[in-house]
Structure 1
Amino acid sequence: MKANIISIGNSQGIIIPSVFLRQLKLSSKSSVQVEVSDGVLMIKPDPRQGWAEAAARMHAAGDDKLLLEDSMNEFDKEEWTWEDGAV
């Protein structure tokens, strides 16, 4: 698809067709990663969008508890090397 560069205040931009935004599940408030690689401008969805809000909702609902007990067994103590020296 061909697009034209337009002026947006003191910057330049392009209009992204809504069909592309829907395919990528993006909106006007979405965060994206923008980079140039080998002469190509790439715009990629930020993979962690909404994670902070989802974590806050989980915590508020009490859904962020451990599913398994956080304990170390003999295999962990004998077979793994811990950088901080803790066992």
Structure 2
Amino acid sequence: MSKAPKIIPISDLRQDASGVIKRLSSSRDPLFITQRGRAAAVMVSMREYEHTQHELEILRLLARGERDIETGVGFELETVLAEADALLAERQ
């Protein structure tokens, strides 16, 4: 069962911004901010934001690789592996 999302009104954020940020930084969960009863924003810790951005970059690279494969652009696997082996051999 998934956890219920953490939701606070913007007035609570205004009254205790420091405390909200402190609790947020110790949690991996996003915090939904409401304004007039509707979702207005989502806050996450800096650590979680950086992690998400890293994952998005990996997904972008994978998507670009798939497009390259579909269009016939790129390198043969054997060539890439041979170059990787050569680079690893140089470092030893």
Q: TM over 0.5: same fold?
A: no
Q: Which has the higher strand share?
A: 1
> Per chain length, whose mean CA-contact separation is higher, i.e. which structure has more relative contact order (CA < 8 Å, sep 6+)?
2
More helix by share: 2
Q: TM-score, normalised by structure 1?
A: 0.31
